[in-house]
C-alpha cells in the first residue's frame, strides 16, 4: 500500500482558500473577464434595443458583470498569493493594471505550505490555451506598439 500519494489543492473560483498555479491563474484572469464582459454586454445590448426605458437594466447588468469579475479576480489573486506563500493582502497589488501577468510569472511553492497543498498540475488543455493566449497577447502588443509609433506594417513586407 502506497502512503505517499500526493494531495492537491482544489481551485474554487468563489473562495479565498487554497492555492492556484501560474498557468491556471493566467488562464482564468484573461478568459473569465473577457467572457463575462461579452456575455453581459451582449445581453445588455439586446435589452437596450427594447427601448430607452430599459437602459437602466442594461447598465445594471454591465455593473453586475464588472463587480462579479472584480470579486472573482480578487479571490483568484488571493489564492495565487497563497501559492507563493504570501498573505492574501498582497492581492491588493492585483488592482494595478497588468499585475495578473506579474502574478503569473512568480513561481509557486512546489510542496505543502501554510496555505495548503500545492495546486493540481496543469492539464494539456490549460498549457495549450496559455501558450495560445500568450502568443495572441504578444501579437496584440506588437501591433499596438507599431500603431502607437505610427509604423506601417506594409513597409516591412
Residues spanned by the domain of 71: 22-122
List the beta bridge partners of residue 9: 119
> What is the value of pTM for the model shown?
0.77
Q: Which of 37, 20, 36, 31 is nearest to 103 (CA)?
A: 20
Q: What is the pLDDT along the chain (157 residues), one digit of tens a residue?
A: 455 577 787 777 778 888 898 899 888 888 888 888 888 778 777 877 776 666 677 777 778 888 888 888 888 889 999 999 888 888 888 778 777 778 888 888 888 888 888 888 888 999 999 999 989 989 988 888 888 888 776 766 6
pLDDT, tens digit (0-9, with 9 covering 90-100), for 101-128: 788 888 888 888 888 888 888 889 999 9
- List C-alpha distances in Å: 60 to 43, 44, 47, 92: 11, 9, 11, 26
Q: How many domains does the chain have?
A: 1
| 143 domain-assigned | no
| 130 domain-assigned | no
| 71 domain-assigned | yes
Amino acid at each position: 500500500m502506497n502512503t505517499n500519494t500526493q494531495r492537491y489543492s482544489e481551485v474554487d473560483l468563489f473562495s479565498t482558500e487554497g492555492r492556484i498555479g501560474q498557468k491556471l491563474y493566467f488562464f482564468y484572469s484573461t478568459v473569465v473577464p473577457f467572457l463575462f464582459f461579452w456575455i453581459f454586454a451582449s445581453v445588455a445590448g439586446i435589452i437596450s434595443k427594447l427601448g430607452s426605458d430599459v437602459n437602466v437594466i442594461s447598465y445594471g447588468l454591465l455593473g453586475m458583470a464588472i463587480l462579479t469579475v472584480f470579486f472573482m479576480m480578487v479571490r483568484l489573486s488571493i489564492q495565487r498569493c497563497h501559492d507563493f506563500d504570501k498573505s492574501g493582502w498582497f492581492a491588493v497589488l492585483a488592482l494595478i493594471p497588468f499585475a495578473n501577468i506579474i502574478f503569473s510569472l512568480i513561481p509557486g511553492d512546489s510542496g505543502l505550505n501554510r496555505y495548503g497543498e500545492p495546486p493540481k498540475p496543469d492539464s494539456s488543455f490549460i498549457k495549450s490555451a496559455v501558450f495560445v493566449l500568450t502568443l495572441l497577447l504578444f501579437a496584440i502588443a506588437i501591433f499596438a506598439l507599431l500603431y502607437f509609433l505610427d509604423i506601417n506594417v506594409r513597409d516591412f513586407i
